[in-house]
């Protein structure tokens, strides 16, 4: 059979994640110290796991309502109010999803129609462009700059907007750069958007992982709640990646449309995960604090360690990545990372994996122990001396 | 600064240079703080947690409950000192509840530990009674779980 005639062309044209090949190489190599992984190295705190287990023991193995249990939606609503001073009605404005990823997918599918343009901030997590293309939309990339601390600026946004622009994807705190947008930064963006019909998809999955300042949600700015969809989840804040649990918060008119897609595509998020998540949101603040402090120590350790061996690195203030500038070493980011891995046994992610603008950079995850990071830094230092 | 103490409690092998980096401080400042903690007796020592069951060392440990007659003017301190000076005593706590002192003993064999209790502890004049509980298996000690070495099983996802 000629599957090329059978398969959806849009799907066929989506490029597989370029990093796959590199990860396969990492898997095959022995004695490689990896700093590539983008998920917490902590295990989900025991009291949260125990709540999930207890739900199974009690036989709570049914579907929940499509939008998630009311108890969890109320907990999420309370969390938004408490942490980010933005109010959402748990009955109509919150949907529990299968990870933050499904939340992003639902938001795009509800808003984007063929021909629409979506402004996507780069470098960023790799899913936005492909998911936008699947809706028939056209991603318009804005390459943020190191000299702007990888923040989106109002001028860049203005230049990217056309009369076809439907959505802005705002992924802060940012993977891979570790950049954050403060209330002041966001207010300049809000000024560009107010009075337009452009929706913001604010991916706040790393919202609990900021260092030295609290995260601000753009939805909490004057006039922005009505034009914002927040996608977030439990994975990074509570080290719950494998539970696949995220959520959406959006104005009721949009939430009700996203809910239809969710209802037909996945029905509801896993029930045991929802029970665990209630425990996380109710009694998990201390866990977040403990993990954030640990990440912060590793962040300082990694960034100062890189600078000490002569690698320039922008100061990351969120997520758990450093994004050093490796352009002065005279290799492309692919070459740099491949040589580093093959010759010195350290795996880091070439910036090119996050779009063209990632050339000259690499992403180093600090979701690893200090001991692990320390060994990797020693090897990176040796490698750099050969260049 | 409790953060420094917490870091050292979790990993006593970290150098002052490493800790300085983790905390965004000067190495000299961290060294000085550690020295001050040592002088003040806040930091008392630094040891390694070893699973002796995985070695060929003959090893057994036990918890001994002691009931004591406290002495006028000294309470339990004198008898405690007499007990903790034995190198076999790994740790010693004054407890609330149905007994007074909890003694953790290490020895080569159960027989050795039993004789130590009978000859050294029970023989002390202030000791009213002893009750010996041998440790059959250690699951967790000082926050460290015994058993398999952790493996990073996380999938490679960006």
Residues A225 and A371 in one domain: no
Q: In chain B, what is the greatest distance between 2 CA atoms, to the nearest angstrom?
A: 68
- With a cut of 70, which residues of chain A have pLDDT below it? 18
pLDDT in tens, B17-40: 999 999 999 999 999 999 999 999
Return the residue matching tokens 């959806």. Answer: A8
Give the single-character DSSP code of B138.
-
Tell me the β-bridge partners of A140.
Answer: A119
Residues A330, A358 within the same domain: yes
* Same-domain check for residues A26 and A131: no
Nearest CA-CA distance, residue A29 and chain B, Å: 14
Residue A23, pLDDT score: 82
Cβ contact (<8 Å) for A41 and B21?
no
Please name which of A26, A5, A38 lies closest in space to residue A323, comparing C-alpha atoms. A38
Residues of chain B contacting A175 with CB distance shorter than 8 Å:
158
Predicted complex ipTM exceeds 0.95: no
Q: Are residues A269 and A100 in contact, defined by beta-carbon separation less than 8 angstroms?
A: no
Binary contact (A27, B156; C-beta < 8 A): yes
Q: Are residues A9 and A34 in the same domain?
A: yes
Nearest residue on chain A to B152, alpha-carbon basis: A41
Do residue A241 and residue A381 come from a single domain?
no
Number of separate domains in chain A: 2
CB-CB under 8 Å, A305 with B21: yes
Same domain, A203 and A75: yes
Which member of A27, A126, A300 has the closest CB to residue B21? A300
Of A284, A299, A328, the domain-final residue: A284
Same domain as A347, residue A277: no
Beta bridge partners of A350: A362
Residues A290, A280 share a domain: no
Strands A165-170 and A117-122 come out as: parallel
Phi-psi region of A41 (alpha: psi -120 to 50; beta: other; left: phi over 0): alpha
Last residue within a domain, chosen from A259, A284, A309: A284
pLDDT at residue A269, as a whole number: 98
> Chain A residue closest to B18 (CA)?
A301
Contact between chains at B158 and A38 (C-beta distance less than 8 A) = yes
Q: Which of A231, A261, A284 finishes a domain? A: A284
Write out chain A residues lying below 8 Å of B7, CB-based: 297
Q: What does the angle CA B24 – CA B27 – CA B33 come to, to the nearest 5 degrees? A: 95
**Whether A101 and A156 share a structural domain:** yes
Assess whether pLDDT exceeds 70 at residue B1. Answer: no
Domain range enclosing A279? 47-284
Question: What's the token pair of residue A223?
Answer: 């006039």
Q: How far apart are CA A258 and CA A255, in angstroms?
A: 5
Q: How many CB atoms lie under 10 A from the CB of residue B145?
A: 10
On chain B, the residues whose CB falls within 8 A of the CB of A349 are: 158
- Alpha-carbon distance A304 to B109, whole Å? 50
**Residue A113 phi/psi, 5° resolution?**
-120, 160
Question: Which of A301, A307, A363 best tests the B interface by mutation, with the highest count of B CBs <10 A?
Answer: A301
Let me know: does A326 contact A338? Beta carbons within 8 Å.
no
The CATH number for A317's domain is: 3.90.1150.10
Q: Residue A19's pLDDT is what?
A: 75
Cα distances (Å, whole numbers) of residue A57 to A51, A60, A230, A240: 10, 8, 33, 20
Give me the mean pLDDT over the B121-142 stretch. Answer: 95
Same domain for A33 and A159? no
Regarding whether A344 and A275 lie in a shared domain, the answer is no
The verdict on A252 and A338 lying in the same domain is no
Which residues are A349's β-sheet partners? A363
pLDDT, average across residues B91-100: 97
CATH number assigned to the domain comprising residue A187: 3.40.640.10
Of chain B residues 57-86, which have a CB less than 8 A from chain A?
A: none
Is this model's pTM higher than 0.80 or not?
yes
Interface membership of B32 toward A (CB under 8 Å): no
d(CA A280, CA A288): 9
pLDDT digits (tens, 9 = 90+) for A133-150: 999 999 999 999 999 999
CA dist A134 to A14, A197, B53, B126, Å? 9, 22, 57, 82
CB spacing of B154 vs A39 below 8 angstroms: yes
Q: Do B156 and A36 touch (CB under 8 A)?
A: yes
- pLDDT-derived band at B152 (thresholds 50, 70, 90) equals confident
């Amino acid at each position: 059979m000629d599957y090329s005639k059978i398969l959806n062309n849009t799907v066929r044209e989506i490029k597989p994640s370029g990093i796959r090949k590199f990860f396969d190489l990492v898997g095959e190599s022995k004695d490689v110290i990896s700093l590539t992984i983008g998920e917490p190295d902590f295990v989900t705190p025991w009291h949260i796991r125990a709540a999930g287990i207890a739900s199974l023991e009690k036989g709570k193995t049914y579907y929940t309502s499509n939008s998630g249990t009311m108890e969890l939606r109320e907990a999420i609503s309370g969390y938004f109010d408490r942490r980010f001073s933005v109010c959402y009605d748990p009955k109509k404005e919150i949907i529990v999803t299968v990870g933050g990823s499904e939340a992003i997918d639902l938001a795009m599918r509800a808003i984007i129609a063929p021909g629409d343009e979506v402004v996507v901030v780069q470098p960023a997590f790799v899913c936005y462009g492909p998911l936008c293309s699947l809706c028939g939309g056209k991603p318009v990339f804005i390459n943020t700059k190191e000299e702007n601390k990888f923040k989106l600026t109002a001028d860049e946004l203005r230049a990217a907007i056309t009369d076809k622009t439907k959505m802005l994807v705002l992924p802060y705190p940012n993977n891979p750069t570790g950049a954050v947008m403060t209330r002041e930064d966001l207010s300049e963006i809000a000024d560009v958007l107010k009075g337009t019909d452009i929706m913001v998809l604010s991916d706040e999955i790393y919202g609990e992982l900021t260092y030295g300042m609290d995260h601000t949600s753009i939805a909490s700015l004057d006039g922005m709640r009505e034009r914002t969809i927040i996608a977030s989840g439990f994975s990074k804040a509570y080290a719950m990646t494998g539970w696949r649990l995220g959520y959406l918060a959006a104005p009721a008119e949009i939430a009700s449309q996203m809910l239809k897609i969710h209802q037909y595509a996945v029905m509801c998020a896993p029930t045991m995960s929802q029970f665990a998540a209630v425990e996380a949101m109710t009694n998990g603040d201390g866990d977040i604090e403990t993990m954030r402090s640990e990440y912060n120590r590793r962040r300082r350790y990694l960034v100062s360690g890189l600078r000490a061996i002569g690698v320039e690195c922008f100061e990351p203030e969120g997520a758990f990545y450093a994004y050093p500038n490796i352009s002065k070493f005279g290799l492309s980011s692919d070459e740099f990372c491949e040589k580093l891995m093959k010759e010195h046994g350290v795996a880091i992610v070439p910036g090119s994996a996050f779009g063209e603008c990632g050339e000259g950079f690499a992403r180093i995850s600090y979701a690893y122990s200090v001991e692990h990071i320390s060994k990797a830094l020693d090897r990176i230092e040796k490698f750099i001396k050969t260049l | 600064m409790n953060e420094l103490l917490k870091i050292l409690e979790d990993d006593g092998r970290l150098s002052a240079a490493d800790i300085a980096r983790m905390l965004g401080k000067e190495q000299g400042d961290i060294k000085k703080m550690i020295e001050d903690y040592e002088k003040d007796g806040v930091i008392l020592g630094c040891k390694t947690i070893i699973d002796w069951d995985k070695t060929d060392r003959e090893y057994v440990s036990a918890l001994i409950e002691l009931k004591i007659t406290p002495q006028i003017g000294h309470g339990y301190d004198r008898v405690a000192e007499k007990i903790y000076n034995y190198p076999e005593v790994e740790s010693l706590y004054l407890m609330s509840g149905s007994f007074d002192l909890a003694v953790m003993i290490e020895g080569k064999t159960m027989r050795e530990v039993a004789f130590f209790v009978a000859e050294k502890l029970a023989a002390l004049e202030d000791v009213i009674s002893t009750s010996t509980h041998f440790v059959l298996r250690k699951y967790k000690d000082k926050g460290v779980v015994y058993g398999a070495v952790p493996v990073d099983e996380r999938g490679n996802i960006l």
